[in-house]
Chains A and B, each alone.
Chain A
Amino acid sequence: EAGVAQSPRYKIIEKRQSVAFWCNPISGHATLYWYQQILGQGPKLLIQFQNNGVVDDSQLPKDRFSAERLKGVDSTLKIQPAKLEDSAVYLCASSRTGTSLNEQFFGPGTRLTVL
């Protein structure tokens, strides 16, 4: 089966600009996650969707980050305006159902550089 798709793979912007990332999860996976991975650290969960509803967005900086999954399939993560500290890899993952045992499948990530 096809894996989690993300685009773009790389993005360079200047601070205060806006940027959007796209994720297409594995077909049939109801749960979708966005993680932020800063260089040298492990990924950090930003938001979790179950179908098109938000399950957990407690670590999403809501003043500048937003995410949606309108039809319960694809998702977009937006940053507006970007700051230097937003430079990171943004990873999308999906799983069949949102239970603690289910394996999460990760995409290759989008590497964002904010200048």
Chain B
Amino acid sequence: DAKTTQPNSMESNEEEPVHLPCNHSTISGTDYIHWYRQLPSQGPEYVIHGLTSNVNNRMASLAIAEDRKSSTLILHRATLRDAAVYYCILRDVGSGGGADGLTFGKGTHLIIQP
């Protein structure tokens, strides 16, 4: 899977929007952009994914650049429960053999101030 680059940490205030960036300049045409997050002392959980168009769900929005070399996860109104490590992961739909384990980087540690 192609490599992603994220800031080590970000800080935001409660009830404000948060924009978490991810760079993936070597993304291929068959790579989907996935976001997972890991709350303290828990396993990771799925947040959102997309290919080319912006995506929204109940947890977040995903904005994908037109050239697909970067994306931004948007939490519209952060709460203290959103404090977690956020991972941006590329998943190749075209990879054969059924092997589809996630390749995690170090992610972005999001700190929410009350």
Contact = CB atoms under 8 A, between A and B. Distances in A.
Contacts of B106: 40-42
A99 B106 CA distance: 24
B36 to A, nearest CB: 8
Interface in A72-115: 91, 93, 98-109
Contacts of A101: 32, 49, 91, 93
Contacts, number: 68
Given A45-B101, A45-B103, A109-B43, 5 more contacts: A43-B102, A55-B97, A93-B43, A99-B93, A106-B43
Interface of B: 32, 36, 41-46, 49, 85, 87, 91-93, 95, 97-107
Interface of A: 4, 33, 35, 40-45, 48, 50, 55-56, 91, 93, 98-109
17 contacts: A35-B102, A40-B106, A48-B99, A48-B100, A50-B98, A56-B99, A91-B44, A99-B93, A100-B32, A100-B92, A100-B100, A104-B36, A104-B44, A106-B45, A108-B41, A108-B42, A109-B42
